[in-house]
Amino acid sequence: MLKDFDTLPEDPSELRAVSKLLAAEVKSQALMIEKLKHQLAGHNRHRFGSKSESLDQLNLAFAEEEEIAEAAEKQAAPSPDSTDADKPARQHSRKPLPDHLDRHEEVLSPGDDCNRCGGSLKTLGEDVTEELEYVPGRFVVNRIVRPRMACSCCEAICQAPLPSRPIERGRPGPGLLAHVLVSKYADHLPLYRQSQIYAREGIDLDRSTMADWVGRSTALLEPLADAIGRVVRGGDALFADDTPVKMQAPGNKKTKIARVWTYVRDERPWAGQSPPCAWYQFTIDRKGEHRGGLAFSTILQPC
């Protein structure tokens, strides 16, 4: 239509008509531009969300990772010469486990006869340890009862030892720890969201508590990750690549580029006997000094 305006009429009445037509065209295009801007803003909000909300989530995730790293250091570096009696008691403000959860009771008895003189044992009391456990779809409480027995002849006192647990003096069972780790790293559920989910079932698990669990679990799994790394690097052919990821830089509310390194061993194309496996490492940059840092790994199942 603009081509019609290349030669404007000289008659005043025709010129006024052309001016009205041009004004109507400009108004129509202005309305269309505003409509498209509104639609674009809505699509951007739906896709990317609020900038302030994203920044808050980054800050929360960064604080969460700091707590996890601190707990991992505590788990990986216990005091070398201390015994259980010498260890200072960990300070907890634990709430009792809810009464509505199923209890699975296990009694660990030292036996009926004294190991020292062979006399019969009588019960003096018992220690009860409650461990919060998770089975698929529900929580349960494992009650570990350890009666304290005394010999009727020599008065020796004995008690069955507490079985090995993933976190010493901790409350979570191995199934619960596995569920928290899988939810965080495989299902991408931050710990604060998991805390809200568990609260709906009447379980009070604070985010900082689970951050301590995750940190100590990573220290326990590090030998397994190192073993998988040795298997991957022991292959005849190794495929490697790095993926840039954004990591929040503390203090300036900005992000910087970190790296996730992927090392893959797959001998299936030439009928190799080793199962395909992958080893991952996260580094804050591309410097070689980070190659011995913390790693997390997985074994891939054959297709």
Look at residue 205 and tell me whether its pLDDT is greater than 70: yes
What is the C-alpha separation between 40 and 44, in angstroms, rounded? 6
Q: Of 174, 180, 178, whose CA–CA distance to 198 is shortest? A: 180
Task: Determine what percent of the chain is predicted with pLDDT higher than 90.
Answer: 23
pLDDT digits (tens, 9 = 90+) for 88-126: 555 566 778 888 888 888 888 888 888 888 788 888 888
Look at residue 194 and tell me whether its pLDDT is greater than 90: yes
How far is Cα of residue 184 from the mean position of the Cα atoms in its chain?
3
| 186 DSSP 8-state letter | T
Tell me, what amino acid is at 98?
P
**Confidence at residue 207, expressed as pLDDT on a 0 to 100 scale:** 92
What is the C-alpha separation between 297 and 277, in angstroms, rounded? 9
Is this model's pTM higher than 0.75 or not? no
pLDDT-based confidence at 292, cuts 50/70/90? very low
**3 state SS of 131:** strand
What is the C-alpha separation between 216 and 237, in angstroms, rounded? 34
pLDDT digits (tens, 9 = 90+) for 215-240: 999 999 999 999 999 999 888 888 88
Look at residue 275 and tell me whether its pLDDT is greater than 50: yes
**Confidence at residue 83, expressed as pLDDT on a 0 to 100 scale:** 53
Task: Determine what percent of the chain is predicted with pLDDT higher than 70.
Answer: 83
Greater confidence (209 vs 87) lies with 209
**Confidence at residue 17, expressed as pLDDT on a 0 to 100 scale:** 85
Q: Of 286, 192, 290, 284, whose CA–CA distance to 247 is shortest? A: 284
| Length of the chain as a residue count | 303
